[in-house]
Structure 1
Amino acid sequence: MTQASANKVVPSWLKVSDDSVIVTMKGAVNIGGLLVDKLTMRAPTVRDQRAATATANNDYEQIEINMLCSLLTATEAEIAALSVRNYNRLQAGYFRLVEEDEL
């Protein structure tokens, strides 16, 4: 383990496993018509990446939103309605699923 990874701490609002993350939101959010305070995001596949990229016209932000919608089973409107704080938490969870950072 490197010194950099030894100093990294998983935030209390993030539970990481090999195939998913559970992200605790700051307050309840509306997903699928339900108010929830935790979202489970499954690990992405190459198929997910290809589908997210196919309709985004090289727009990185749209690729990211497409990917989150797929992995959370959420709509684009539901993702757009999130606070920036909660969106940042989802981004952090996604990062943990795709990077090999020893956490």
Structure 2
Amino acid sequence: MNKEIKTPVWMELSAVGVSITLSRPTEANGVQVDKLHLRAPTVRDVRAAGASAGGDDEQRELALFASLAEVGAKDLEGLTLKDYNRLQAGYFRLVQDDSV
């Protein structure tokens, strides 16, 4: 049985990354934005985020997402929880194995 995962309207997935439309504009790098783009992570990105987090899983994820979106961690901390959850969903959709 092939179970197709429906992509939400606020998510645009490509081979190089995922774009997330935010529920409301926010500031990123000093500019108001209504979308954030996460590029596809490398092993190096994941290792660097882990090394900088000192064992704190939340800090590791925040550092990784900030790196992939090329914004400051403080910018991500200013997101609504709804929009941060969208980033998480986009990231996990981006890294999931399509062959499953």
Q: TM-score range by the shorter chain?
A: over 0.9
Find the counterpart in structure 1 of residue 66 from structure 2: 69
* Counterpart residue type for residue 91 of structure 2: Y
Secondary structure of 1:63's aligned partner: helix
Runs of 4+ in 1 over 3 A off after TM superposition: none
Aligned residue for 1:69, secondary structure, equals helix
For 1:23-76, what per-residue CA distance to the aligned partner results, in whole angstroms no more than 9, with x for missing partners?
000010100111110111100001101100001111111110010010001111
* RMSD across aligned positions (CA): 1.5
Q: CA deviation at 1:97?
A: 1.4
Give the TM-score taking structure 1 as reference length.
0.90
In the superposition, the TM-score normalised over structure 2's length comes to 0.93
Q: In the alignment, which residue of structure 1 is the partner of 2:56?
A: 59
* Residue 86 of structure 1: aligned partner: 83
The structure whose RCO (Cα within 8 Å, separation 6+) is larger is 1
User: Would you say 1:26 and 2:27 are equivalent positions?
Assistant: no
Q: C-alpha separation between the residues in 2 aligned to 1:42 and 1:35?
A: 20
**Number of aligned residues:** 100
Can you give the 5+ residue segments of structure 1 that lack an aligned partner in the other structure? none
> Are 2:38 and 1:41 aligned?
yes
Q: What amino acid does structure 2 have at the position aligned with 1:21?
A: V
